[in-house]
Structure 1
Amino acid sequence: MLVSDFMTRNFVRLQPEDSVRSAFAKFLQYRLDIGCVLHADDLLDGIVTKYNLYRMLVNGCSLEEPIGPAMIRDVVTVPQHIPMQQARDILITSQVAHAVVLDQRQKVVGIMAKADLIQAFLMESERLNNQVTALIEHLEDAVVAIDNQHKIITYNSAAERLFQQRPEHVLGGPVETLLPQIGEDITSALQNRFPLDAKKIFLPTAIALATYAPVTFRQQVIGAIAVLKDLTAYEKVAKELETTKKLERTLESALEIAYDGIAIIGEEGRITMVNDALLELYQIKRHDLLDRVAEDKLPELGLSETLRTDQERTSDIQEIKGRKCLITRTPIIRDGKRVGAIAKVMFRQLDHLKDLFLRLEDLENELTYYRSEYIRASTQGTALDYIITRNPVMESLKKQTYLAAQSFSTILITGESGTGKELFAQAVHEISGRPGKFVKVNCAAIPSELLESEFFGYADGAFTGAKKGGKPGKFELADGGTLFLDEIGDMPLSLQAKLLRVLQERSFERVGDVHTRHVNVRIVAATNKRLEELIEQGKFREDLYYRINVIHLTVPPLCERLEDLPVLCDHLVRKLNRILDKEVIGVRPAALELMRNYRWPGNVRELENVLERAMNLESSNWIEAHHLPQNLLSVNTGNPPASFLPLDRFRALPANAANKRDIIAAAEKDLILRVLQECGGNRTHAAKHLGISRSTLYQKMRMYHITEKSLFQAE
């Protein structure tokens, strides 16, 4: 604050020959009590005050006499570019109420009075107060302050979220009654005039760490303050960390009781886990292997090669320490990326092939368990894990969704109907960790005349039939959480303007109410329409479009990710089995091939409807091609699926096949045997060629009594 910012620039200018009458006239015009007597070049000659002119009149002078005898030449001056604090000190030291302000050339540019000083320091005080208020309001920690009467005088938005009470309900009230969780400790800090050690307190919806201190002014205690840090998220992370440690200990125990040697490496190729069986084989100590490069210490296992290649599983026989060993390697894949590898070494009684083949399936299942447990122990799952896919575009979309969920920005999700846009919206809410609810509004399903009250609620008596006491709207219900606006392209223009205001100001009024309500809501919108075309047609506001289109996620249709059909069918069949109390095993390859040739305009939702229809209308344990609806069959040519082998490759069907079902079963068994033989017994590759999952292949092998022996010599 400089003198030039607050000085009085319109001051009274006088000459020594001016009369007393003219001086009084200028004092009245400028409403000042002091005038500057200047030379022709605006240099200061002296000052004249009303008081001095009054004395001239009292002493018998007339109004026409010049003001020269009343002029004061010993004048206090201040430069215009010095701070107001320095000008205040000059006036106090000189014991005067006014000072003349000079520029660098010593010309008069204004008058500095006590009123100017008071105005400057009042503005500075107000500025500092606003800064402190804004700082407290935007702190992540909750702040509560009380005065000497134990009345609450400060209560920021973080405290509102923590205590779940509105400011208007607590400000000015007694802290012991309104906030009993901290009332005793904050009053203790006030009365004892000493800070208290940090203490953990338990609130209905959170856990916080509170510190208390007295507030002093001029060596007098005028109140106390409490600062509370929300520990809820930290407590959750601590529990998850403890769960991860328990899983790691469980995994270590499981590895130790395994019959075969097992080694696990991370994505950098360093050994993270080995069991006692492997140490026995290599005759080496555990500390000589852990965190060492596997390629240097265990070159025979080929784990580093498993990380670099695209093969899902490899097996071969190697000689380790003079003993023949069967080594099976499997990559650990997370979100489409290889994050490690597992090697299983079978070296005990390898010559007994009969026992080996009998146990092989159990060991492979055990290895799968180890892999899944290791992934669960080393990585934290998210809600996106429930979105099932093998498609690289969908995997990339899941990664984008995870990153977008970390911010507060508005998200727009577009895609055809039935692609799962709501699943992505729910994933955004869960990953964001927002404490509020996930509230969904279908903008196309609510009548336009009710949309405003649904969004913003209404006050008591707002209209005929209104609920007594009013009703909160979706924005209030989603406070602190996420509001999902489904089918936003169908929202009326009149409501779009009001929605835009809420998104900009984060505040609104209920219908029929004048009270402004503030909310903290994350907006996620979705539509299956092209909003750019609606803007051109005048059906959607362009400013609202740019407000919601901060982060744009596009969900691809099912026809563009047909590789997801097998895993989606397996998942949906299991889900429908629970709902319909069925025991359907899965979808036959022929039916799956027909599904691949279909456009799927209804996407995943239509796929679920097709499977549910087939499971309701048929009693078979499998969904066959003839179970599919006619509209799906009509788009196919009727030719056998490309994944089937030529008919001359099958053995003769059993002569005693009584019906069509027996013929199909025999053909399917023969097909599975042929594919397994061509894949050398590798079930992962066989399942991929057949277009089914590994679990479905195992079920079919058990159903048709296909054993390891039969893989090498068909019955």
Structure 2
Amino acid sequence: MLVRDVMTHQFATLETTDTLQYALVQFAKTKQHILPVVQETGQLVGILPKNRLIEALADGRSVDSYIEVLVNYEPYSLQPTETIPDVRQKLLRLKIGHAPVLNEQQQPIGIMSTTEILAAYNQILERMESELELMFHHLNFGLFSVDLRGQMISMNHFVQKLLGWPDDYFHFGELPQDAPLVEVVQSVLNERQSLTVRLTINQHSLFAKGHPLYDQHDELIGAMIVLEDVTQLEQTAKELHFSKEWEHKLRTVVELAYDGLILVNEQFQITMVNDGFCQLFNVTERDVLNQNITTLFPELQVEESIQKGVRLQNVPTLIKEKQSLITILPIHDGDHFVGAICKITYQGLTQLQKAIQKVNQLEQQVTYYEQELTEMKGTKYTFAHIIGESESMQKMKREAYAVAQSRSTVLLLGESGTGKELFAHAIHASSKQTGAFIQINCAAIPGELLEAELFGYAEGAFTGAKKGGKKGKFELAQNGTLFLDEIGDMPYPLQTKLLRVLQEKEFEPLGSHQTIQLDTKIIAATNRDLPSLIQQGKFREDLYYRLHIMPIHIPPLRERMEDLPSIVEEIIRDLNRSGFRIQGITHPALARLLTYDWPGNVRELYNMLERAANLTTIHAEYYIDLHHLPEQVTPAQQDMPIHNRYEATKREAERATIIQALREANGNKARASRLLGISRTWLYNQIQQFHIEEREYLD
């Protein structure tokens, strides 16, 4: 959206010979805070701000005097073709709220203000909401939301058709008294956790998935319920005479809509396949039943995913020259692995990808403008930025959210790169603190300077002290949050003074006798073993217990590998926001990441993916693949025999796929690369790596 689309077109102009009385009358006719001052030719001379006119009248200047002495002759002006985000940044940087808009002849044609900018953002959001509403009502599953009282807020047409509700039902605001639905909603609101239940309503067999809804301050505001109709699949299950074990597996399967489907048991033996899978791989059920899936289909990499207990969903890969999406769902009976489902989507994938891209584009645009608006309000990171649905991570987020509601001191513990700083930001954002978030790294500042940085100093406190003194981090964080990062590296003498501040809630700047009362939430973080430092005499035991009021242990990435796929997805989105054009990560690359121990945790993962993203730009490749990952991402040494056997089988399959594509393309490498969905440069590299000769694909 451009300036010309939202600027004020109706405005009055003044000349330098106009009187204050005349200018006052013109301001009374408009809501603008400036009026352009022009020459006889209509070109801009300057602007008259309303506040200058009012100040002049208040100082006793005659209403019959001319405005020329009040005019700002060097105003900042805008062009009608400038974009709204650019203009907003300029006005904020210059700290002005209004500016005239000029044409090529330097004549004013409009006035732009922050009011028009906010109106433009609202207009953009309204348009996007309209588009999203259209998509909302054309989803192939039911979706409705309720507030904290269980009152209906929204509902799509699928729900109405599925449950036979009238079109205007939700306007009454009452949740239908079908007991199962009420129980789902109440469970989500009470437990504040997502859940999935199977229920029957109006002779429809449904999966109801409930999710809590939070606002930007992480306050619970309601619940979203997704309804998936699996009546037909359930009927099919009843007609099949499987054992109880297979019935259990099949009921897990009905959660997935699939093209190709294969099931394996705890020994990774294939126990069931469907027609879609057999057609994709050109096999029969008799060919594959009771065979090892890693031996027959190494490219699926099911074993690697299951060994880590990680669920993969819609990961792109190339299978039999078809772009496909793989979903791997481990099945557990209590704590024991009993099998897995592998789903391969390859039919109608082009249409699916276009729909996904459209939704992603809309989400990115909405996110951008929401960020712009929240930036105006000065908000920070929230718990929504902390990715992870594992049990350990959910526990950490619940504890962090709880302590954010009080003034208690928080101690964040965890290895380097686990996200302690992100937790600190989220706690502050969810707290009721009205002041700033101030951060200091206790390991990055020399001990002799750290005290002055923390407590500030008065003028003349020491040689080289800044004239007028300087406020310390504690004072800057008044009514806000002070984040003491790497607290384990704080010099021992300074720990004594910090302990006194935490106990007495007051301090004195260096060289000053003024006592400042402290009203600040303290968050400390370290990757050091504080009890061990206490035994070594490097950390005060009393300070440790003062900080240890609410310890939060953030788990390392290797202990929550089930979160890795969603973290990878979020990192790729973040990289794209910084200028990359990555569409995703391939299934082989993601499977390889699951075999790594991640000593550097999420920070190491981010750096590794950013390196890979840079490598994709060399040959215009849009997916992060195996060859983009560094050498250290290799399976553990004890798994090497299995890995070597798997790699050999996999390489044979890749080589055969490339030869088949070259045959169909009659040796035309550009066409073969398009069939394979890879770049021509990468195809040449593969031909050389696999030592493929022309006689193998040309008659």
TM range (shorter): 0.3 to 0.5
Greater CA radius of gyration, 1 or 2? 1
Length-normalised TM-score, structure 2:
0.48
Length-normalised TM-score, structure 1:
0.47
Bigger relative contact order, structure 1 or 2 (CA pairs below 8 A, ≥6 apart):
2
